[in-house]
Amino acid sequence: MNEPVRPLTPLLLVGLAICCASARAEATLPPLLQKVGFDQRLNEQVPPDIEFTDETGKHVNVGDYFHDKPVVLVLAQYRCKMLCTMVLNGLTQGLMDVPFDVGKDFQVVTVSFDARETPELAAAKKQTYVQRYGRPGAATGWHFLTGKETSIKKLTDAVGFRFTYDSKHDQFAHASGVILLTPSGKVSRYFYDIRYSGRDLRLGLVEASENKIGSPVEQILLYCFHYDPAEGKYGAAVMNFVRLGGVLTLVALVGLIGVLRRRERRKPVVAQGI
């Protein structure tokens, strides 16, 4: 005899709804954004001989910052007034909540992924964030680099940062996040979003300083690019398709669970004999 078909439990419905939402979110991403994101290259060695120019115009190698301290690596476009600025603002605020000091306990290396940007732009950006951070010695430990396309590609490939350029609108499409490296330059951990908890940064820096490699984390990414299907073109905006899908799913699930609970309350209670 066949087993009776059982109704889906609320927990199973939740799981199915989340999976469907994730699939819908990926499907809604325009082709340009499907090319961007982070491939988590944990324990990957960043090649120390990649050449860049620092904010003073001096030629440096990435490995110049690999010594006895962990490194926070930030990939940003200095002229970007939206997501890149929000990432740097969020990182600065998070670092202000960390008891360790930039320069003394760890390094921050910010690298532009736009090969057209100059040391002058890097110097202006450095002045802004070193002043905002406000701790003594930060200028010696927070570096802002620019470089050629070949160097940028080597670095972004090593850490799994995928971005693309739209020449029609002179804009980059990219995702938000920062990367923690061990003192020797191995990828230890990824942090996504534009806000970074001081507690999480502190623990991540401690792990990286001990050459520990974290586990892969779920990617919930913000994208610096927006596709308007009505206009059929891209415009600058900060959008988060995945989170939008998640919020809608959450609202639907709350309503679904409420309906199921009301139905259970309405079921008649059948007294059983002893």
Q: d(Cα 188, Cα 68) in Å, to the nearest integer?
A: 15
For domain 36-219, give its CATH number from 3.60.21.10, 3.40.47.10, 3.40.30.10, 3.30.10.20.
3.40.30.10
Q: d(Cα 182, Cα 174) in Å, to the nearest integer?
A: 24
Name residues whose C-beta falls within 8 Å of residue 16's C-beta, 6 or more positions apart in sequence: 8
- Across 17-21, 101-105, 184-188, 241-245, least confident range: 17-21
Residue 236 has pLDDT above 50, yes or no: no
**pLDDT single digits (tens) 202-218:** 999 999 999 999 888 76
Residue 173 pLDDT grade (very low, low, confident, very high; cuts 50, 70, 90): confident
Residue 256 has pLDDT above 60, yes or no: yes
Residue 160 pLDDT grade (very low, low, confident, very high; cuts 50, 70, 90): very high
**Domain spans, the chain:** 12-30+230-262, 36-219
Q: d(Cα 74, Cα 181) in Å, to the nearest integer?
A: 11
Residue 250 pLDDT grade (very low, low, confident, very high; cuts 50, 70, 90): low
Residue 219 has pLDDT above 90, yes or no: no
Give the rounded distance of the alpha carbon of 102 from its chain centre.
21
| C-beta atoms surrounding 67 within 10 Å | 11
**Cβ pair 38, 161 in contact under 8 A:** yes
Arithmetic mean of pLDDT over the chain: 80
**Cβ pair 54, 143 in contact under 8 A:** yes
DSSP assignments along 192-248, one per residue: ESS---HHHHHHHHHHHHTT-----------EEEEEETTTTEEEEEEE-HHHHHHHH
Residue 76 has pLDDT above 90, yes or no: yes
Q: d(Cα 24, Cα 22) in Å, to the nearest integer?
A: 5
Q: Write down the pTM of the prediction.
A: 0.72
Higher pLDDT, 170 or 159: 159
| C-beta atoms surrounding 165 within 10 Å | 15
Q: Which residue has the tokens 């984390």?
A: 217
The 8-class DSSP code of residue 103 comes to: T
